[in-house]
Chain A
Amino acid sequence: MELKGIGLEEEIFKISKKSEKSMKMEFKGVSLKESDFKEKKILSLENKPNLKYAWDTGVAIGRFLAELKQGRLIGRKCCKCRRIMIPPRMFCEVCFKPNDEWIYLKDKGTVNTFSICYVSWDMQKLKEPQIPAVIEIEGASKMMGILHLLGEVEPKEVKIGMKVKAVWKEIDKREGAITDIKYFKPI
């Protein structure tokens, strides 16, 4: 078989037809389709690692996840720099010392930044866009928060500085994971 070119022109065609007829371009060569690889028309080697991990949560993440299961957010406080940290860690990276106490925090906060995501993780188009946001949790120090999704809100209505609140899964469906919070919604 002949390998004459890498075929992207179908898509380029579509774009060029759509945008400007005079801009229409033609590429020389034969395009390759995904099916050509599947049908082994093209010599190729597929390789997929089979890797599995189970990370030790340790003290800080372990407690954080256990509290999520109970529908609560918990942080750690450093008595030297007075920062309240979430997600929690057992040491203060600024003072470089073990930090001091657990502290429950409210399950609400303020949107620090957000984006509206129109493609899924594997680059499929999404009908309903996802809205990832960094949420500064109320009661924690500045710039301390949780990365999560926003919900029950029109994308165009999301604003930086918006107050939001966690929407939790039903208690029997929680498993001690960040997804025990379904999303944050505007207050």
Chain B
Amino acid sequence: MRKAAIVGMGYTVPQTITPQLSYREMIFEAAVKAYENSGIHPKDVQSFICVSEDFLEGVSIFDEYVPDQLGANLKSVHTISADGIFAIISGFLQILTGKFDIVLVEAHSKASNILNPNEVIAFAQDPVYNQPLRLNPHYIAGLEMNRFLYSSGNTREQCAKVVVKNKKNALKNPLSAYPAKIEIEDVLNSALLSDPLRKMDKSQHADAACVFILASEKIAKSITPNPIWIKGAGWCSDDPSLETRNWDEAVYAKLSARQAYKMAGIQNPKQINLAEIDDSYSYKELQHLESMGLCRKGESGLLLEEGYFEHDGSLPVNISGGNLGAGFLFEASGAFKIVELILQLSKEAGCRQVKNASLGLAQVWRGVPTATGAVIILERED
């Protein structure tokens, strides 16, 4: 069986606003760094995969605008409308076919250019059943959080603790837009959005670009002695309808994790050393941990309080700061989770380096109102 590795990456620092660069200039910066980092030349890349969503860009058929800044002019390029992790999975699968050896993946966010992002999110709801109610779209997270706390037994305070932990982790990550030292009370006293969800439970937007170079085993080994291998991947969508989906758990996370574990040959999720998972809203981190079997149902909150998910805990989670600390990057959110995994697995994470990190998991959710997500498992073999 063929293997594929991530052999290089480049990125810009997530920032709340980026008026100094156009999206093209921002992506160019990330691409140049990725080529430099991998030693690969654009002419050697056989396939380019980008992610974007037209409504987030403000231009329809946005995929037409991607080649120049990547060195993909007149080459095989296509865009998928999903998170960056989906693009990495696509690149991985292209390499497994045996027809491609070097694939480039790009994801970016110019969230600051969307003046009314709530309208974009609201516009993703069903136009007949849901949109006419004209609710602020975060009500969907309120509904889900309420049901999650009810059925799992985790508490409101434990969700607040997620925000405290992730914003604290972000203080040690230069690639973060919202680091802060806060207390549980700060979260609990922040404005109510849609009960029980409060303002500080929700991650905030940031701008950044990220580019990865993927390569087949032969190429990867010629570039670096310690490639970061893609061991497993899974992706899944639950029912799009808010009326009939499973509100008790994140089924998409459960099934995509199961698929990824199987592909990676992981018998017990406890084998995983660190995880960068979706925390677009505080409760999502706990819900995703439980759904992916990284802890037992109803135990995530208690384990969090015991320090199980801290930097020195048994399973460090969102050491990057996650979406709450580093910023919510729309379709590039997953890409920056991969950046953190690669830095950790390559032992280049500096003061936030997790000891003995060799098997990492990244998971992403596409945000409200979706029930879609993906999981990827990376490994460094010494």
**Which residues of chain A are near B110, meaning CB under 8 Å?**
55-56
Q: How far is the CB of A63 from chain B (nearest CB, A)?
A: 11
Please, how many angstroms separate the alpha-carbon atoms of A58 and B21 in the complex?
A: 4
Q: With A52-B116, A53-B115, A93-B68 as given contacts, are A45 and B127 in contact (CB-CB < 8 Å)? A: yes
Whether A59 contacts B22 by the Cβ 8 Å rule is yes
Of the stretches B23-31, B93-101, B138-146, B230-238, the one at the interface is B23-31
B20 at the interface (CB under 8 A from A): yes
A54 at the interface (CB under 8 A from B): yes
Name 30 interchain pairs, CB-CB below 8 A, sorted by A. A47-B127, A47-B131, A49-B119, A50-B116, A51-B55, A51-B116, A51-B123, A52-B114, A53-B115, A54-B113, A55-B23, A55-B110, A56-B19, A56-B20, A56-B22, A56-B113, A57-B22, A58-B21, A58-B23, A58-B24, A58-B25, A59-B22, A60-B22, A60-B24, A89-B24, A90-B28, A93-B67, A93-B71, A94-B73, A96-B71
Interface string of B103-121 (1 = CB under 8 A from A): 0000000101111100110
Known: A57-B22, A58-B20. A50 touches B119 (CB 8 A): yes
Q: CB-CB < 8 A to B19: which residues of A?
A: 56
A55, A90, A96: most-surrounded residue (chain B CB, <10 A): A96
Most chain B CB within 10 A, of A51, A60, A94, is at: A51
Near A by CB (< 8 A), chain B positions 29-83 give 42, 55, 58, 67-69, 71, 73
Q: Cβ of B120 and Cβ of A58 under 8 Å apart?
A: no
Using known A-B contacts A49-B123, A51-B123, determine if residue A61 contacts B22 with beta carbons closer than 8 Å: yes
CB distance from B69 to the nearest CB of A (A): 7
**Interface residues in B, total, Cβ within 8 A:** 31
Task: Point out the residue from A45, A59, A93 that lies within 8 Å of B25, measured CB to CB.
Answer: A59
Residues of A within 8 A of B24 (CB): 58, 60, 89
Q: Mark B314-347, 1 if CB is under 8 A from A, else 0.
A: 0000000000000000000000000000000000
Q: Shortest CB–CB separation between residue A53 and chain B, in angstroms?
A: 3
Residues in B with CB closer than 8 Å to A96 are 42, 71
Cα separation A93 to B19 with both chains bound (whole Å):
22
CB-CB under 8 A from B194, the residues of chain A are none
What is the CB-to-nearest-CB distance from A31 to chain B, in angstroms, rounded to a whole number?
26
Interchain CB contact under 8 A, B73 and A93: yes
Task: Give the distance to chain B from A21, nearest Cβ to Cβ, in Å.
Answer: 44
Residues in A neighbouring B73, C-beta threshold 8 A: 93-94
Measured in the bound complex, the distance between the Cα atoms of B73 and A55 in whole Å is 23
A90 contacts B55, C-beta separation under 8 Å: no
Chain A minimum-CB-distance residue to B25: A58
- Quick check: B119 and A51 within 8 Å, CB to CB? yes
Say yes or no: is A91 at the interface (Cβ < 8 Å to chain B). yes
4 closest Cβ pairs, A-B complex: A58-B22, A53-B58, A93-B68, A52-B115
Contacts of A47 in B (CB 8 A): 127, 131
CA distance A50 to B42 in the complex (A): 39
- The reply to whether A56 and B115 form a contact with Cβ atoms under 8 Å apart is no
- On whether the beta carbons of A53 and B113 are closer than 8 Å, the reply is yes
Question: Contact check: which of B25, B113, B132 meets A55 at CB < 8 Å?
Answer: B113
Query: Which residues of chain B have C-beta atoms less than 8 A from A60's C-beta?
Result: 22, 24-25
Contacts known (A47-B131, A50-B119, A91-B69); A56 close to B58, Cβ less than 8 A: no
Q: Which of A49, A50, A54, A56 contacts B23 (CB 8 A)?
A: A56
Whole-angstrom distance from the CB of A183 to the nearest CB of chain B?
Answer: 25
B18 part of interface (Cβ distance < 8 Å): yes
Tell me if A45 and B119 are in contact (CB < 8 A).
no
Instruction: Check if B1 is an interface residue, CB within 8 A of chain A.
Output: no
* Residues of chain B with a CB closer than 8 A to A49's CB: 55, 119, 123
Q: Which residues of B contact A62 (CB under 8 A)?
A: 22
Contact B69 A55 (CB under 8 A): no
Smallest CB separation, A93 vs chain B (Å): 4
Docked Cα-Cα span, A58 to B26, in Å, equals: 9
| Residue B128 lies at the interface, judged by CB distance under 8 Å to chain A | yes
Q: How far is the CA of A94 from the CA of B67 in the complex (A)?
A: 11
- Please state if B120 and A51 are interface contacts (CB–CB under 8 Å): yes
Complex-state Cα separation, A58 to B112, whole angstroms: 13
Q: Give the CA-CA distance A76 to B52 in the complex, in Å.
A: 28
CB distance from A178 to the nearest CB of B (A): 15
For the complex, give the distance between the alpha carbons of A52 and B123 in Å: 13
Given contacts A51-B120, A55-B22, contact A91 B28 (CB under 8 A): yes
- List chain B residues, Cβ under 8 A from A94: 73
Query: In the complex, what distance in Å separates the CA atom of A50 from the CA atom of B58?
Result: 12
Closest to B131 in A: A47
